[in-house]
Amino acid sequence: MAAVAGLAVVLTGCGGGGNSPTQGGTNGGGDKGEAIVVDMWAGSEDDTKALEAQMDVVKKQNPDIKVELRTAPWGDFFTKLTTNMASNNMACVTGMNSGMLASYTDGFAVLTADDLKAAGLAESDFAEGSLEILKNKGELYGLPFDVATMVTYYNEDQLTAAGATLPKIGWTFDDFEAAAKAATKDGKYGFGIGMGGFQWQALPIAKAGVQPVTQDGKLQLTDPAFLDAATWYAGLVTEQKVAAPVASASDTGWGENQFTGANAAMAVDGTWNAVGYLNNDAGFKAGLAPLPAGDKGNLSLILGSGYGISKNCANKDAALKVLGSLLSKDSQDSIASSGRSYPARAESQPLYFESIDEAHRDMVKATFEAAFKNVEGQYVSDNWAKVDTYVQPELVSVYNGQQDMKTVLETAQQQFGG
C-alpha cells in the first residue's frame, strides 16, 4: 500500500537498511527471563538510531527488564509479520500502522483500561482523537507514538506569479479551484494529482464529509457523496485540466513529485512531510494549509503508527511496562525535539514546533492546530489492502480518460464489498 508506506516515513521510511529480524514467541515473545522484543520497521540508519534512542529510555526506566530491538524495512517487516502471526510467533511489542491494522488484528491483544494503567499510561496522555489510530471496529489494539493528517502544500512563488490567492486556514474548494486554474499555464499545472491511497482520497473525503468505509468496517465506495467527490477529483485532470495525467502505475508518488519538481503549484500529502517540503531541494518558497472546506466542512483522517502487545506474549506485564516507556514523556520528547514526527503524547507536541525553522514555525503550528481540529480515525474494511491494490493502478486509466472513476469504484465495491 504505497500511501501507507509513505506514512512510514514519519519515523522510519521504507526501503533501505535495518537489522533482519528473527521475531518470535519464545524467541521474542517474552518468556520469563527472556528479553522482551520490540519489533519495528526501519528504512535507514537514521531510523534505527531514532528507535535506539527510544530503547535507551526503555532500558533506563526498566533496568530489571531485558529488551531487544529488531527492525526490518517496511515491506520486509509486514511480510515477516504475516508469517509470524500465522505461526503464533509475534514479538511481544510489535509496531503497527493505522492503514495496516485491519490485516493483523488477530495477532494483537485488545488493550483494556487496566492494561493502560499497568503501562503507566492514561487516555488523557494522548492528543485528542489519537487513540482512534490503532482501533479497529471499536477495539483498541495499540497505542500511537505519532499522529498525522493530510494537508495542502503549495508553491508560494508559482501561485504568486500567477496572481492566485494563497491557500490559508478557512479556504474553500472554490478557492482551491481558482488557485489551481490560475497556476495552470506555461507548461506547469496548478495541482499534483494523487496516486497513493491517502493522497487521492483526502480531497474526496473532505469534500464529501464521509469516508469510503463505515465505522463498523463496511466498504462504501459507492456512497453517493463520496462517489460524486471522487468523480470531481478525477475531473481535475480530465475536465478542468489543472493537473497532469499520471504516466504509469509505478509513479506512486506522482503528485508529490510534480510538486517538489516545481511542476505543480499544490499537492496534498501528510503532515509527516512538512519539513521536507518546506526545505525543498528545488529552492522554491513553500507553504502549507489545511484541506479546503466545502458544504460539509473539511473532514480529514487522523493517521499514525504505534505499538501493540501480541496475543502470544508470555510476559505481558513486562511488555506493558516496555510499551509505557516507549510512549513516556521522555521518549515522546525525543521524537518531538528531533522533528522526525509529530508525537501522539499531547504534552510533547510543543517540542515539535521548536524543531521547525523559525521562518516556518508559526505557519506550521497554526496549520497543524487547524488541521487536527476536524479529524476522524481511519475506518478500514477487513480487505482494505486489497481495495487499495486494485484501485491504485486503475487510477492511471482514470486520469488519462480511458475509464471513469465511477466504474472503478463500483467494480471495487462489487469485488471487495462483501
pLDDT, tens only, 8-58: 333 433 333 333 333 334 445 556 668 999 999 998 998 999 999 999 999
CATH number at residue 293: 3.40.190.10
pTM: 0.88
Contacting residues for 186 by C-beta, under 8 A, at least 6 apart = none
Do both 120 and 154 map to the same domain? no
Distance CA 335, CA 326 (A): 10
Do both 195 and 274 map to the same domain? yes
Coil/strand/helix, residue 380: coil
Do both 282 and 183 map to the same domain? yes
Domain assignment present for residue 45? The answer is: yes
Do both 189 and 206 map to the same domain? yes
Q: Is the pLDDT of residue 276 over 60?
A: yes
Q: What is the mean pLDDT of the chain?
A: 92
Distance CA 381, CA 386 (A): 10
185-237 pLDDT, tens digit each: 999 999 999 999 999 999 999 999 999 999 999 999 999 999 999 999 999 99
Do both 216 and 268 map to the same domain? yes
Do both 278 and 158 map to the same domain? yes
Domain assignment present for residue 352? The answer is: no
Written as nine digits, the cell of 275 is 519539513
Amino acid (one-letter) located at 71: T
350-378 pLDDT, tens digit each: 999 999 999 999 999 999 999 999 899 99
Domain assignment present for residue 225? The answer is: yes
Least confident of 1-5, 65-69, 134-138, 404-408: 1-5
Distance CA 107, CA 288 (A): 38
Domain assignment present for residue 357? The answer is: no
pLDDT for res 34: 87
Do both 67 and 127 map to the same domain? yes
Domain that holds residue 253: 150-301+378-416
375-404 pLDDT, tens digit each: 999 999 988 989 999 999 999 999 999 999
CB count, 10 Å around CB of 32?
A: 7
78-132 pLDDT, tens digit each: 999 999 999 999 999 999 999 899 999 999 999 999 999 999 999 999 999 999 9
Do both 163 and 215 map to the same domain? yes
Do both 239 and 249 map to the same domain? yes
**262 within 8 A of 277, measured Cβ to Cβ:** no
Domain assignment present for residue 78? The answer is: yes
* Percent over 90 (pLDDT), the chain: 88
Do both 142 and 154 map to the same domain? no
Out of 287, 322, 344, pick the residue that ends a domain.
344
Do both 104 and 232 map to the same domain? no
Burial grade of 84 (CB within 10 A; 0-12, 13-18, 19 or more): buried
Number of structural domains in the chain:
2
User: In 3D, which of 368, 254, 222 has the Cα closest to residue 2?
Assistant: 254
pLDDT for res 317: 98
Domain assignment present for residue 113? The answer is: yes
Do both 170 and 308 map to the same domain? no
Domain assignment present for residue 349? The answer is: no
